[in-house]
Every structure is written in structure tokens, then in C-alpha cells.
Amino acid sequence: MQMEGTAEMISGQEKQNEFVNNLTKDAMLQALFYGPFFNMLGVNFSMFKVKITWARWLTLDIKGLREVYYQIV
């Protein structure tokens, strides 16, 4: 996956909690949510909100031995 866009760091525990809570409200994201990750003691991490302006993914065609790109945004 290759993406371009603007990123904004989400700083402060209150803002991070609000961001995570908003993610878990979306039914499609609930199955992908890794809540325990955010509660790991002694682990430092940063959260970023990214507004994607351009994205594509690469598929390797083994039979044709070529790279196939699909632009999605």
C-alpha cells in the first residue's frame, strides 16, 4: 500500500481516548479494533490522524511476472 496525504499528531490522553472511542462506534471498524494494544503498560506510541489524498496498492502477478498497481484514491 502506498499513500499520500496530510498527517496530524493526536496528542494528549484525552484526545487519544476520544479518537479511539470514535473508532469503536463504527460497526465496520469494531471487528478490526485492537483495544488491548492501547492499554499496554510501559509502551510509548504516537497516534496520527491521516487525511489520505492519494492511495494505491501493488499486486504481483506471478504468472506474468509483472507488477500491477491499482489506484483507489
Rounded Cα gap, residues 6 and 18, in angstroms: 20
Contacts with 11 (C-beta within 8 Å, 6 or more apart), sequence order: none
Q: The pTM is what?
A: 0.50
Would you list the domain boundaries of the chain? 2-71
C-alpha cell at 50: 491521516
Q: pLDDT tens-digit profile of 12-61?
A: 888 888 877 776 776 566 666 556 665 666 667 788 888 999 998 888 77
| Cα(47)–Cα(50) distance, integer angstroms | 10
